[in-house]
Amino acid sequence: MRLIAAGAVLIGVLGGLLLGGCESIPVVDEIRGDGWVELFNGKDLDGWACEGDLDAWGVVNGELVTLKPGKGWWLRTDKMYRDFELKLEFWMPEGGNSGVGLRGSSNGDPAFTGFEVQILDTHGEEPADYTCGSVYTAITASEMAVNPAGQWNSYHIKVIGDTIDVKLNGVKVIDNQQLDDRGYYRSPENPLPLKDRATTGYISLQDHGHPFRYRNIKIKDLSVDPEPDGMVALIDPRLENWFAEDNAEWTNEGGTLVGRKGPGHLFTKSEYEDFEMRALVKVNERGNSGMYFRVKPNPDPNNPWPIGYEAQVDNHDPKNFTGVIYDKAWPEDHDAPITRDEVWFDYRVRVEGDWIRTWINGEAMVDTKLSEFDRGHLAVQGHHDGNVIEYRDIRVLELD
């Protein structure tokens, strides 16, 4: 197998800029009695990471501000959220432009890997899909509720499943709207439906080159499977923490791990026993892959399939479909895949002793006991020539 570390040095460098430009600072959540968690503590950037220059963001007089407008790209939380209520206040100058990214990945533009509730100085204008209060290039706000530049504004955003509600300064400007086939990438000629974007991701704030101020940022996580603290990212810029077997080619393309020209597998150098693993996954039409665990390469040079467990990725197989532990365990409540080709979904695998569970988009799939393997590598699969599998934000948490 050919392991291409980002395909070339250039892509490796770009991956380093996208993924390693700023280090995430861990945070201890302070949960209030009403369930709200302060995302910004008013003192420092604990709990936030950055894909640009972290020093472009800072804290002044208890407010989160852009210190070097145009240098900060997106500032994001270090935890992912699927369903939530989010509150924040923002101040913008005349002509100001920013945004709140929701369900975005750590690489790429959160406005399109997830979606963005727009912040823009459009007081007095007619609403459009790019004005303040709208879901950028997708859902137009019902009315213009933003204050004139130089005044504070408030957002209260609620995202549950495939619906979104947005209040701007107490006015409901988006009311129970579906995350459906609306949406495009920068121009209507490039459709990018909301329903095809990631179903979980980071909360982000955009630096679009203007001096902005934020305060009172807090969240209530309503996810059925909230992300635990301490998850560690596994996709490194040059894939130095992985090794490859057999024919598939693996590249880090701006932070997305892409596998082509299988069969073949990419293994973590580290081994794991009990853990939780999460990832964003997308496979091409009629594609096939898997997230292996407690696995080792097959010693038979004529057999490319590893020895261990596989959390399957296949949107068409009537038996071993996405969410199944391949040929070993199946969901009790699902007899067909709930995922689609060319659409991002999130995968969760939790392994504790012989207790193995999987979830797709937060929906429980397998819940079983298996005792055949107790420790091994993690791995991802490239299945056949013409197969294209993509992974973003593969993260793992070792369990005591």
Facing residues of 2 across strands? 249
Do residues 192 and 325 share a domain?
Answer: no
Whether residues 194 and 240 fall in one domain = no
Q: Is the pLDDT of residue 30 over 80?
A: no
Residues 248 and 201 in one domain: no
Across 204-216, average pLDDT: 97
31 and 50 housed in the same domain: yes
Clarify whether residues 310 and 211 are in a common domain: no
Considering the domain architecture, whether residues 203 and 262 belong to the same structural domain is answered as no
Give the residue numbers spanning the domain of 291: 232-398
Q: How many domains does the chain have?
A: 2
**What integer pLDDT is reported at residue 302 of this predicted model?**
86
With cut-offs at 50, 70 and 90, classify the pLDDT of residue 148.
Answer: very high
State percent of the chain over pLDDT 70.
92
pTM for the full model? Answer: 0.90
Model confidence at 16: pLDDT above 90: no
pLDDT in tens, 108-141: 999 999 999 999 999 999 999 999 999 999 999 9
User: Residue 246 has what DSSP assignment?
Assistant: E
Whether residues 42 and 152 share a domain: the answer is: yes
**Structure confidence at residue 10 as a pLDDT band (50, 70, 90):** very low
User: Within its chain, how far is the Cα of 24 from the centroid?
Assistant: 15
Residue 6 within any structural domain of the chain: no
In a domain, residue 242? The reply is yes
> Beta 48-50 vs 74-81: how paired, if at all?
antiparallel
Confidence of residue 34 (pLDDT cuts 50, 70, 90): confident
- CATH no. for residue 187? 2.60.120.560
Instruction: Tell me the two tokens of residue 334.
Output: 């699902």
Distance, in Å, from the CA atom of 308 to the CA atom of 245, rounded to the nearest integer, reads 15
pLDDT single digits (tens) 48-76:
999 889 999 999 999 999 999 999 999 99
Q: Write the CA distances from 371 to 13, 270, 321, integer angstroms.
A: 42, 21, 22
| Beta-carbon contacts of residue 154 (< 8 Å; ≥ 6 apart) | 87, 88, 89, 90, 167, 168, 169, 170
Residue 91, domain member (yes or no): yes
Residue 21 domain-assigned (yes or no):
no
Q: Which of 161, 194, 221 is the last residue of a domain?
A: 221
Residue 45 and residue 194 share a domain: yes
Give a yes or no: residue 118 inside a domain.
yes
Q: Does 267 fall in a domain? A: yes
Q: How confident is the model at residue 32 (pLDDT cuts 50, 70, 90)?
A: low
Indicate whether 259 and 160 sit together in one domain. Answer: no
> Based on the domain organization, do 216 and 313 belong to the same domain?
no
Average pLDDT of the segment spanning 215-222 = 98
Question: 251 and 208 in one domain?
Answer: no
State the DSSP string of 91-136: E--TT-EEEEEEEE-SSS-HHHHTEEEEEE--TTSPP-TTSTTSBT
H or E element, residue 205? strand 201-206
Q: Does 8 fall in a domain? A: no
- Mean pLDDT (the chain, rounded): 92
What does the pLDDT look like over 347-387, one tens digit per residue? 999 999 999 999 999 999 999 999 999 999 999 999 999 99
Do 185 and 330 sit in the same domain of this protein?
Answer: no
**End residue of a domain, out of 191, 221, 251:** 221
Q: Does residue 2 lie within any of the structural domains? A: no
- Residue-level pLDDT at 33: 62
